[in-house]
Amino acid sequence: MPDSCLFCRIARHELPAHIVHEDSRTLAFLDIHPVRPGHVLIIPKQHYPYFEDMPADLAGHIVNLGQRLARQMKRLYAVERVGLAFTGIHVAHAHAHIVPMQHPHDLTSTHYIAEQDLTFVMPPQADAEALAATAESLRAAVSGD
């Protein structure tokens, strides 16, 4: 794992994170700039710069964990759908965003194109205590499924 990669450092527990799930291959933790409460990032512990660089079985493992989280998020946050998106925009380490969607435009939408609003900004950083409470509820839900 590269020493300078933010997510590699989180995977090695060198930097703090509000961990929701951990196994031998992946780490799931709360995004500190959540689109919505409960916004989780799932990363492979091994460094892969982008989604397409990962072995297919690892990508499948991440999607499976995303499905498990989504089922619990629907119940915990009373949402109809949960979005999953693989990105590599801000950190060049493959990662999936799992977002309980309270609004159809929470992840992406043609609405932005129609409105000609293509300016994407980072959501504000969440409060540490709120993140800790959210992580605990998701961790308990996923460990019990």
Provide the annotated active-site residues: 95
DSSP assignments along the chain, one per residue: --TT-HHHHHHTTSS---EEEE-SSEEEEE-SS-SSTT-EEEEESS--SSGGGS-HHHHHHHHHHHHHHHHHHHHHHT-SEEEEEEE-SSSSS-EEEEEEESSTTSS--HHHHHTT-----PPPPPPHHHHHHHHHHHHHHHHT-
